Amino acid sequence: MATAICCITHATSIDGKNTLPRLMEIDREIPPIRRLTKTADQINRLSVGDCVEFDTQIEAKRFADALRYRRMKYATRKIDECYRVWRLS
């Protein structure tokens, strides 16, 4: 259950002379929302041995870099004018 704490803080004005009281609310025990990118969602659904096909080499390299960032082994190959990236582990 989320709890809220209210406290008064003082914010300094632009000229640096006056302090203005402000009410600040602090929420606790609220889990952060994690948003997945399209690539991260694809990687999460990818099983060992699955491959993804790309039209350009740069797209395949970016996907392979995302796999490497997650410490997954991968292989890339150019097959018939398209690029494929396999997840190996």
pLDDT at 85 over 70: yes
What proportion of the chain, given as a percentage, has pLDDT over 70? 74
Alpha-carbon span 47 to 39, nearest angstrom: 14
**Domain for residue 22, yes or no?**
no
Query: How buried is residue 74: exposed, middle or buried, by Cβ count under 10 Å (0-12/13-18/19+)?
Result: buried
Contact 84, 53 (CB under 8 A): yes
Tell me the pLDDT tens digit for each residue of 49-78: 999 999 999 999 999 999 999 999 999 999
Its domain, for residue 65, covers 38-87
Query: 66 — phi, psi (to 5°)?
Result: -65, -40
Q: Give the start-end residues of each E strand in 3-88.
A: 3-12, 19-28, 51-54, 74-79, 82-87
**Domain for residue 12, yes or no?**
no
**Domain for residue 74, yes or no?**
yes
**Domain for residue 17, yes or no?**
no
- Which pTM value belongs to this model? 0.61
